[in-house]
Chains A and B, each alone.
Chain A
Amino acid sequence: MAKHDTIRALVKRGVSEELAERVADAGLTLGALKALTPSELAERISISAEEAEEILALVGSKPKREVTPEEDTSLEAKVARLKVPQSVKDELIAKLSKLDLSKRQIDKVLKRVEEEYERVRIDPCEAVGIVAAQSIGEPGTQMTMRTFHYAGVAEIYVTLGLPRIIEIVDARKTPSTPMMVIKLDEEHRHDKQKAHALATKIEATYPSHLGDIITLPDEMMIRIDVDDRALERRGISMEDLFQKIQDHGKFNADLELDEENRSIIIRPKEYSYRELLQLRERLTSTNPSSGILISGIKGITRVVIRHEDGEYTLYTEGSALKEVLELDGVDATRTTTNNINEIENVLGIEAARNAIITEMVNTLSEQGLNVDIRHLMLVADMMTVDGEVKQIGRHGVAGEKASVLSRAAFEVTVNHLLDASLYGYVDELRGVTENVIVGQPIRLGTGDVELVAKPYGKVVE
């Protein structure tokens, strides 16, 4: 058949079988192919322009023609054609342009670099996950089990060391010590006054920060003796405070503003000690869910201003990324939090991936450990591959493995085996763990190679 002949002819000229079939399926013969331009061909059988060009080059009028002569022989163009990562290319250009080398020498260097890159690349079927696990696990044994540390000189508590790493790979919804680094915009970052004003705007303020809350059971009332200096420091007026407490209104009480004595008097409407105590509880609470927020952002309990790298930066205990990014004066491009869940919700999955990597690198390097970033990138990739941050562990990556035996070997063995037997699951024995369990060669390295025979020239329909 003509179709077969076309495919054979194309394959003979070095076109891949898959592409050849596509060309033949489109009803093109070798002759018709020669009359087409690359873009026409690309459109006709919906392939990329490069592939079309390649096919045409292979079937062109001079079928045995060598690779098209390289028109551009400048260093940049030559380097750009290499099959190496961008960082290697940049380094090559930077270094080679400083040296006085002949064209032949340069070609030789480039060739060696490409060969070397190809040599050190991870081979297909390499068990990178195991390598990553060991590369992170071993330094993990040297980490202090329980370190609470201050972030730099500012007196902010942050969990570091092993507990922090565990927190990250477990994808906890909130870290045990959430914190933010708030960078300021051009207007605020050099002015201490303005930075300070912003800090007070961010720090959550509750009634107990602004004065003494005194319970007087004899008179059935609670009195807030307001501290004027505290008010001034936080830029709140007496009226504001009164209004905020009154607006909160979720309690059954009468409020009275005693301007003369600088105090607020609160009396429960009902004459009961229980009411009074509950009222007191509400007023003294600094809990984000039950306290009465006077000013600031819920969840940010403390703000510290630091001057570093020539600008004022705010460090906070507690985190509220979404709210902070919307504030005037905040540099919304550089402000971050250590709460990865929040980053995922506000900035998306890719930002979460970046945050996982940087948090892990920072935690490890703070302990003086040096883990290759590629291992951490692999972990972050696995955690974010499904579009949401999954933990490494039985509720995430390890729990979603296809093999029953592999899952049973990890945690909660009985549950997995029981479920599998109840529902009649089949284990295809494609992974490593399950093949070790049943005592078969694992599909890794040389174990993954199979001989595939394909009779030449015969297309199996």
Chain B
Amino acid sequence: MKGGTLLDHELVPKHEVLTEEEEKAVLRKYKVSKRQLPKIKYSDPIAREIGAEVGQIIKITRDSKTAGKSIAYRVVIDQ
């Protein structure tokens, strides 16, 4: 995309790759394993834009109409 990046589009919420410690904290907080998290494909344009690798967790900070701000996690899958 010319100028700026896809990340600037109003439909795209903020995506961040978590560090290993953050990943552990998230999985412990929700008492889940990685495969139980929602998924995002490795080929997803935004996953590519932020350079996420397969198996990493992406933290998504959504602008929610009900909660104001809501945080979701997606694990990068190989596809």
Dominant SS at the A interface? helix
Contact of A374 among B3, B25, B66 (CB under 8 A): B66
A388 interface residue, CB < 8 Å from B?
A: yes
User: Considering the complex, which residues of chain B in the window 30-79 have a beta carbon less than 8 Å from any beta carbon of chain A?
Assistant: 38-41, 44-47, 60, 62, 64-70, 74, 77, 79
A351 interface residue, CB < 8 Å from B?
A: yes
In the complex, which residue of chain B has the Cβ closest to the Cβ of A46? Answer: B24
Q: Is the CB of A326 within 8 A of B1?
A: yes
Q: Is the CB of A332 within 8 A of B3?
A: yes
A230 interface residue, CB < 8 Å from B?
A: no
Q: Is the CB of A347 within 8 A of B46?
A: yes
- What number of A residues sit within 8 Å (CB to CB) of B? 37
Q: Is the CB of A387 within 8 A of B69?
A: no
Q: Is the CB of B6 within 8 A of A385?
A: no
Q: Is the CB of A387 within 8 A of B21?
A: no
**In the complex, chain A residues whose CB is within 8 Å of the CB of B1:** 325-326, 332
**In the complex, chain A residues whose CB is within 8 Å of the CB of B13:** 350, 354
**In the complex, chain A residues whose CB is within 8 Å of the CB of B15:** 350
A27 interface residue, CB < 8 Å from B?
A: no
* A325-B1, A387-B77, A387-B79 known; A348-B12 Cβ under 8 A: yes
Q: Which of A84-92, A203-211, A242-250 contacts B (4 or more CB under 8 A)?
A: A84-92
A343 interface residue, CB < 8 Å from B?
A: yes
Contact of A46 among B21, B38, B39, B69 (CB under 8 A): B21
Contact of A86 among B39, B40, B67 (CB under 8 A): B67
Q: Is the CB of B9 within 8 A of A333?
A: yes
Q: Is the CB of A47 within 8 A of B70?
A: no
In the complex, which residue of chain A has the Cβ closest to the Cβ of B20? Answer: A46
User: Considering the complex, which residues of chain A in the window 146-168 have a beta carbon less than 8 Å from any beta carbon of chain B?
Assistant: none
Q: Is the CB of B66 within 8 A of A333?
A: no
A419 interface residue, CB < 8 Å from B?
A: no
A144 interface residue, CB < 8 Å from B?
A: no
User: Considering the complex, which residues of chain A in the window 32-88 have a beta carbon less than 8 Å from any beta carbon of chain B?
Assistant: 46-48, 51, 85-88
With both chains docked as a complex, state the minimum distance between the C-beta of A397 and any C-beta of chain B, in angstroms.
13
* Interface-centre pick from B11, B29, B45 (highest chain A CB count, 10 A): B11
Q: Is the CB of B39 within 8 A of A87?
A: no
**In the complex, chain B residues whose CB is within 8 Å of the CB of A334:** 9-10
Q: Is the CB of B67 within 8 A of A348?
A: no
**In the complex, chain A residues whose CB is within 8 Å of the CB of B24:** 46-48
**In the complex, chain B residues whose CB is within 8 Å of the CB of A259:** none
With both chains docked as a complex, state the minimum distance between the C-beta of A42 and any C-beta of chain B, in angstroms.
8
Q: Is the CB of A373 within 8 A of B70?
A: no
Residue pairs across A and B with CB atoms within 8 Å: the count is 108
**In the complex, chain B residues whose CB is within 8 Å of the CB of A325:** 1-2
Q: Is the CB of B41 within 8 A of A347?
A: no
Q: Is the CB of A350 within 8 A of B68?
A: no
Contact of B41 among A328, A333, A346, A388 (CB under 8 A): A388
A266 interface residue, CB < 8 Å from B?
A: no
In the complex, which residue of chain A has the Cβ closest to the Cβ of B31? Answer: A18
**Interchain CA distance A327-B13 in the complex, whole Å:** 23
Q: Is the CB of B44 within 8 A of A348?
A: yes
**In the complex, chain A residues whose CB is within 8 Å of the CB of B28:** 47-48, 51
**Interchain CA distance A388-B44 in the complex, whole Å:** 9
A386 interface residue, CB < 8 Å from B?
A: yes
**Interchain CA distance A48-B68 in the complex, whole Å:** 25
Q: Is the CB of A87 within 8 A of B66?
A: yes
A345 interface residue, CB < 8 Å from B?
A: yes
**In the complex, chain B residues whose CB is within 8 Å of the CB of A350:** 12-13, 15, 40, 46, 60, 62, 74
Q: Is the CB of B68 within 8 A of A87?
A: yes
**In the complex, chain A residues whose CB is within 8 Å of the CB of B6:** 346-348
User: Considering the complex, which residues of chain A in the window 321-350 have a beta carbon less than 8 Å from any beta carbon of chain B?
Assistant: 325-328, 332-334, 336, 343, 345-350
Contact of B29 among A48, A87, A326 (CB under 8 A): A48
With both chains docked as a complex, state the minimum distance between the C-beta of A348 and any C-beta of chain B, in angstroms.
4
Q: Is the CB of A348 within 8 A of B39?
A: no
**In the complex, chain B residues whose CB is within 8 Å of the CB of A348:** 6, 12, 40, 44-47
**Interchain CA distance A373-B68 in the complex, whole Å:** 13
User: Considering the complex, which residues of chain A in the window 290-338 have a beta carbon less than 8 Å from any beta carbon of chain B?
Assistant: 325-328, 332-334, 336
In the complex, which residue of chain A has the Cβ closest to the Cβ of B67? Answer: A85
Q: Is the CB of A332 within 8 A of B38?
A: no
18 sampled A-B residue pairs with Cβ under 8 A: A47-B28, A48-B28, A86-B68, A87-B67, A87-B69, A325-B2, A332-B9, A333-B9, A334-B9, A343-B11, A347-B12, A348-B6, A348-B44, A348-B45, A348-B46, A349-B46, A386-B38, A388-B41
Taking A48-B28, A351-B9 as known contacts, 12 extra A-B pairs with beta carbons closer than 8 A to each other, sorted by chain A number, are A47-B25, A48-B21, A86-B68, A332-B8, A347-B6, A351-B11, A354-B12, A373-B65, A377-B66, A385-B38, A387-B41, A387-B74
